[in-house]
Structure 1
Amino acid sequence: MTNKNYDLLVVGSGIVGLAHAYEAKKRGLSVAIVEQNASCTGASIRNFGFVTVSGQSSRDTWRRAVYSAQVWRELAALAGIKILHQGTWILCQRPEAVEVAQAFLRTPMGADCKYYPQASYLNLESLGFTNTGSLHLENSLGLLYSPHEFRVESKEAIPQLASYLQNEMGVDFYWKTEVLSIEGTSVHTSNNRLNAEKIVMCPGAQLTGIAKPYIEKHDLKLCTLQMLRVKVQDGFVLPGSVMTDNSLARYLGWSELPEAKVLQDRIAKEMPEYIKEGIHLIVVQSADGSLVVGDSHHYGSSEDVFASERIEKLIIELMYRVLNITEHAVVERWTGVYPSTNAYDALIEKVSSTMRVAIVSSGTGASTAFGLAKDNFDEWLG
Structure 2
Amino acid sequence: MNKHFDLIVIGGGILGTFHAYHALLSGKSVLQLEKDNFPVGATVRNFGQVVPSGMDAEWFGYGVAGLDIYKSIQQEFDISVQQNGSVYIASDNDEQTLIHELKAHYDTIGYETKLLSQEAVLKKYPAIKSSYAKEAIFFPQEISVAPDQMIYRLHEYMQTKFAQYTLKYNSPVTSCESKGTGVEVGLRNNTELFTAVKAIICNGYEFKLLYPELFSESGIVVSKLQMMRSIPMPEVALAGNILTGLTTRRYESFEHYCPSFKSIKTPEHYEELKKWGIHILFKKAADNTIIIGDSHVYADVNHFDDLGFDLSHHINELMLEEAARIVDFDVRKLQSTWAGFYPQHPTKHIVTYDLDDRIHIRTAIGGKGMTASAGYAEESIKKIFS
1:243 alignment partner AA: L
List per-residue Cα deviations over 1:104-140 (Å, max 9, x = no partner): 112146721112233xx25x79xxxx64222113322
Check the 8 A contact 1:68/1:370 in 2, yes or no.
yes
Q: Per the alignment, in what secondary structure is the counterpart of residue 277 of structure 2?
A: coil
2:68 alignment partner AA: Q
- Identify the residue that residue 143 of structure 2 maps to in structure 1: 150
- Unpaired runs of 5+ residues, structure 2, are none
- Identify the residue that residue 278 of structure 2 maps to in structure 1: 279
- Identify the residue that residue 352 of structure 1 maps to in structure 2: 356
Pair 1:187–1:230, CA change in 2 (3 A): same
C-alpha separation between the residues in 1 aligned to 2:213 and 2:3?
26
Q: In the comparison of the two structures, how many residue pairs are matched?
A: 371
The structural deviation recorded for 1:82 is: 2.4
Check the 8 A contact 1:211/1:357 in 2, yes or no.
no
TM-score (norm 1): 0.92
C-alpha separation between the residues in 1 aligned to 2:32 and 2:38?
12
Residue among 353, 368, 386 paired with 1:364: 368
Note if 1:173 corresponds to 2:161.
Answer: no
- Identify the residue that residue 225 of structure 2 maps to in structure 1: 225
Equivalence map 1:147-296=2 (5 Å): 147-170=140-163, 171-184=165-178, 185-190=183-188, 191-231=191-231, 233-256=233-256, 257-263=258-264, 265-267=265-267, 269-296=268-295
List per-residue Cα deviations over 1:13-59 (Å, max 9, x = no partner): 00011000000001000000011111001010001111111011x21
- Identify the residue that residue 336 of structure 1 maps to in structure 2: 340
- Identify the residue that residue 126 of structure 2 maps to in structure 1: 133
C-alpha separation between the residues in 1 aligned to 2:104 and 2:347?
26
- Identify the residue that residue 15 of structure 2 maps to in structure 1: 16
Q: Per the alignment, in what secondary structure is the counterpart of residue 261 of structure 1?
A: coil
C-alpha separation between the residues in 2 aligned to 1:323 and 1:177?
44
Check the 8 A contact 1:52/1:150 in 2, yes or no.
yes
List per-residue Cα deviations over 1:80-120 (Å, max 9, x = no partner): 122345111221111111111111112146721112233xx
TM-score (norm 2): 0.91
- Unpaired runs of 5+ residues, structure 1, are none
Paired-residue identity, %: 22
Question: How much is the aligned-residue C-alpha RMSD, in angstroms?
Answer: 1.9
Residue among 88, 93, 96 paired with 2:94: 96
List per-residue Cα deviations over 1:300-331 (Å, max 9, x = no partner): 13143110111111111111111121464110
Check the 8 A contact 2:247/2:280 in 1, yes or no.
yes
- Quick check: 363-372 or 70-79, which moved more? 70-79
The structural deviation recorded for 1:233 is: 4.9
List per-residue Cα deviations over 1:167-204 (Å, max 9, x = no partner): 32131012211212122111121251100001000001
Pair 1:53–1:311, CA change in 2 (3 A): same
